[in-house]
Amino acid sequence: MAVVSAAVRLGTCSWADQGLIERWYPAGCRSAEARLCYYAERFDTVEVNASYYAIPEPATAQRWAERTPDGFVFHVKAFGLMTGHRVRPEQLPPDLRPLVERVTARGNVEPTPELTRRVFARFTDALAPLREAGRLGGVLMQYPPSLAAGVGSRAFVEESCGMLGDVEALVEFRERTWLSEDERSSTLGWLEDRGLTYVTVDAPAVATANVSPTVVARTTSTAYVRFHGRNAGTWNARGAVASDRFDHYYDESELDPWSGDLREIGRGAARVYAMFNTNNADQGPVNADLLRRILARDGVRHTPVPGPAQGQLF
């Protein structure tokens, strides 16, 4: 019996970037509600990026669920403290700030076990409306360049992903030793053994510690690829912001190989996601649409453009 490849679902890593508002959304699409509805007419999945900077409110997640059709999937990026990134006390919900016992010389929180536990609980509770509506995919656990491969680091990943409960953990490494030639088989086997979903990244070929090599693989029934662009010139530029680092329009030759890669890692998978983190101007949806055309040309299964919902908000 032939093993069928799951249909690729395409989306972007955020639907509310300023560049999208200026370059992609129609002039009459002014409200947050209208923009999400417009997005959901063109793509059936998205990443929530703002949650990395602040824990969302359940009421916000409820509105996301109400503004999207059945079958739409949200992936939510973990709040920075959950993955070992630096956060400031003011980024925490006001009622959790008294739990901060120490801050570093640079003003960043030194998390205690109790604060960490409360942050995870608050974060997962905030996602309840998405879970109840059948709209929640996974939580993107993007670990920082400071977390190199090692026994202690594996323990940290296992513990932090375990605190998500039954929510799927999508694990992305930003430190390249995890996927070095010497470590990649061990890393992927460990993720598979722990039931953690590996995130494949397409990124510039920059030989610095803060970018993983592109290793196409799947460790659970979910295949997940994030496209960071190929802008080697801005990846490590001093003072660069995200819109500089991920500033890239893909050309067809760069995305062509992904047609076969997505077909292959989707073989036998339950879900396949191709998410574009190129977030300057209208790059995310433009790049996603280009990949969609390539998949259609090559006969790779992918979900169709959802089309207009009933009624218009703009």
Identify whether the C-beta of residue 77 lies closer than 8 Å to the C-beta of residue 141.
Answer: no
Is residue 67 situated within a structural domain? yes
Q: Is 213 domain-assigned?
A: yes
> At 255, which amino acid appears?
L
Residue 314, number of CB atoms within 10 A of its CB: 14
pLDDT at position 314: 39
> Cα 295 to the chain's mean position, in Å?
21
Among positive and negative, which fits the CA dihedral 49, 26, 281, 73? positive
Q: Is residue 113 part of a domain?
A: yes
Do the strands 73-77 and 136-143 form a parallel or antiparallel pair, or are they unpaired? parallel
List, as one string, the DSSP characters of 131-172: HHTT-EEEEEEEE-TT--SSHHHHHHHHHHHHTTTTSEEEEE
pLDDT of amino acid 148: 95
With a cut of 50, list the residues of the chain below it in pLDDT: 1, 310-314
Element housing 9 (H / E): strand 8-13
How many CA within 13 A on the CB side of residue 299? 1
| Alpha helices, DSSP H, located in 67-112 | none
CB 210 within 8 A of CB 148: no
CATH number where 198 lies = 3.20.20.410
Q: Are 302 and 8 in contact (CB under 8 A)?
A: yes
Residue 313 lies in a domain: no
The helices-and-strands tally (H runs, E runs) of the chain is 11, 8
Distance CA 46, CA 9 (A): 10
Counting the structural domains of the chain, the total is 1
193-244, pLDDT tens digit by residue?
A: 999 999 999 999 888 888 889 999 999 999 999 999 999 888 887 766 777 7
Domain assignment present for 303: no
Contact between 304 and 255 (Cβ < 8 Å): no
pLDDT of the residue at 310: 46
**103 within domain boundaries:** yes
Residue 205's pLDDT is what? 87
| pLDDT reported for residue 174 | 94
Domain that holds residue 207: 8-298
Q: For 237-279, how does the pLDDT look when each residue is reduced to its tens digit (9 = 90+)? A: 776 677 778 899 999 999 999 999 999 999 999 999 999 999 8
Q: Say if 238 falls within a structural domain.
A: yes
- Whether residue 304 lies inside any domain: the answer is no
Q: Whose CA is closest to 106, among 131, 88, 84, 128?
A: 88
Q: What is the pLDDT of residue 312?
A: 43
Put simply, whether the predicted model's pTM sits higher than 0.85 gets the answer: yes
Classified as helix, coil or strand, 80 is: helix
Three-state secondary structure call for residue 10 = strand
